[in-house]
Structure 1
Amino acid sequence: MRYMFSYDLMETIRNTNQWMGASAKAMASYPALSMVPHPAVSWMAAWGEVTERSFKRMIAKPGWGIRSITCEDGRDHVVEIETVVEKSFGNLLHFKVSGRAPCARKVLLVAPMSGHYATLLRSTVLSLLNDCDVYITDWHNARDIPVSAGKFDIEDYTLYLVDFMRELGPDTHVIAVCQPAPLTLAATAYLAEQDPEAQPRTLTLIGGPIDPDATPTEVTDFGARVTMGQLEQSMIQRVGYKYPGVGRKVYPGLLQLTSFMAMNIDRHGQAFYDQIMRVSRGEASDFDAHNRFYDEYLAVMDMTAEFYLSTVERIFKNREIAKNEFVVDGHKVDIGKITRVAVKTVEGANDDISAPGQCIAALDLCTGLPESKKASHLEPDAGHYGIFAGRSWRNNIRPMVLKFIDANSAPAPRSKGTPTQQNAA
């Protein structure tokens, strides 16, 4: 119960700060105070507005905000977001562009489940919609999932990806961003052994920790020096009574956000101070750069305890993917069985989360894949966010990925001895 108490305590602190912001904004907005030409009054209202908005965003799931796009025919086409596969811990969504001719490129974006919602890839989706038929994994907030739904660890995550790939078929091009890169590689290898006709055409891995020890960072160093017992004691709590997942063990989003902010506390503090001053001077707007960024950054979700702990233990500490020793549902996955799926890795030279060297390790694991099916790219001067959503993605990486997809869109010839050929014989 003490873990449930600490979960509710964090929510109480968040709720209190939101209330304080709303109260300060309301009090400083009394008409009578307009007769007092003191900057403290406008500053108080500005502080209240920024504080209320910030703490309110922490429990809100952002909307996609993608309503239409302009296609090559010069017309605006409505974008409908439909659920293709619905599961307890995550759905497969489709961005259906109404009235558009069928698109040759079918892309599955595998969104990270590392504290933020899939909407973190909103700009990535938008950049691909004109040229691709886009699908995305939409992971659910663990606090909203009843305990009766069971567990969800990295093996379950991998099997979800297997099901999504099977649903979309073999003409799919998969792009995995950050955290899910090693598990997406494992899911592809799983299909290569269990259901080779369901394999995707291409697999693009962007900034993912395939081998965390290839280039150590602050993230990998933390995972190495902290024991699993310490992590479970300090990070895991039980969902409080306010949410449907009451009693479920989770790594709370608010606790994750604290860690995110602590890594660059000076920069975040300055950003909020500057925003308060802009609001007090009447220079801010609802969709200015600060609000666009922090509306997404502050919106965090809980992860199931078993997913978080198994990620740290099996991906970072034991390096099961890097050693090709990953087991899914009792089956040892052999990444060397990937022989037909073209694989490309993308890394950022200034990535301080998944540093250069961690993601390209996937190519060495694909021992059964010919060199002509392998590709890699190191984007100069790009950080972690920039390689999938920033200027580097838009100007350099996206065109390169589309070219890679086009070059490998034709079905790959089956190698001799595949199960299908053996059966036919």
Structure 2
Amino acid sequence: ALMALLIAVTVAGNALVMLAFVADSSLRTQNNFFLLNLAISDFLVGAFCIPLYVPYVLTGRWIFGRSLCKLWLVVDYLLCTSSVFNIVLISYDRFLSVTRAVAYRAQQGNTRQAVLKMVMVWVLAFLLYGPAIISWEYISGQSIIPTGECYAEFFYNWYFLMTASMLEFFTPFISVMFFNLSIYLNIQKRTKMRLDVFHEVHNQSFTEETERSPEAKLSLKCCKWEQKESAEALDLSKSKAQAAASPSSLDAKDLLETSSESSKKPKCCNKKSCRTSASTLSSEKRVKIVSQSTTQHFRLSRDKKVAKSLAIIVGIFGICWAPYTLLMIIRAGCHGQCISEFWYETSFWLLWINSAVNPVLYPLCHSSFRRAFIKLLCPKKLKVQPHYALQN
């Protein structure tokens, strides 16, 4: 019953992802094409690999013959390996979208390049195990697989499995960890820069604004001239009053010169225009900085979501693949004598559980997939949502 449930969930979930691409054109972005490639791998695992393995587990014998055994092995290794390589490709693509955003956006419309990468994943996945499965017995001169069993000829060859594991799991896992760490450090750096800009905007004073702008400097000079002129006018009035009281205390010629110089002071603006000019310059600069900050905030928020979704997918990948890879290497080293069959079988099924879990992660981590799934499964709900949003 659990095996049948796993098959149903794997096939239905990944079929839904593929249908979403057909139904929703907005999903057809470069990164989502790689998710589609992963869904195809996982769908075929549920539709072909698991159903053929179930009778083998239940009866303890392979009943489909040697030819179908080889085909099943080639397809199973191919699909599982392509899933791993697809996760690496998705991680690399997300890494570029965050750390080299401008160059990444420039090539978003290049579907041909995306398709080429998808094909390369399948070719490399086949080359890793396919030729060995097909030709191992011919190169070695004999088959070591007993009648009624189905596994690869290199199943107990420690050197081959160690090399293949390095290429299939350890190198990909280290790569995706590096991409994740780079994305995290990039986001931390940009968050700090954004906070610095925020504090700079809020700490700027009127003096700083006027000192940085020639026009504001002119406005400030106007204010100073006007203040000086007012002071001089007041002094002149006092002097005239004193002269009227005591004519000998001040020369009339000096009074005329002082009055003449005062009249020559540049009266370029009043206090109101001075404040308005400086205020306008300050406001324009603040609006520009705030606008840039809003754009950066939007991109930063989007990249944080990308990092979280990628971390979840990669985390599940590590949990599902690490036990199988380690047990396979240990098992090959001791020729199956030191690892219980139960633990090996459990780790083997974890690989296929990963194929069933991936479609569940898409709607949890990507709002675009969530909308597409609702569009397919509950189209009426999607139509009601905008009306409900307007009411609120």
Q: Normalized against structure 2, the TM-score is what?
A: 0.25
Highest relative contact order (Cα 8 Å, sep 6+), 1 or 2?
Answer: 2
Q: Normalized against structure 1, the TM-score is what?
A: 0.23
Write 1 or 2 for the structure with the bigger share of helix.
2
Write 1 or 2 for the structure with the bigger share of strand.
1
Task: Pick the structure with greater CA Rg.
Answer: 2
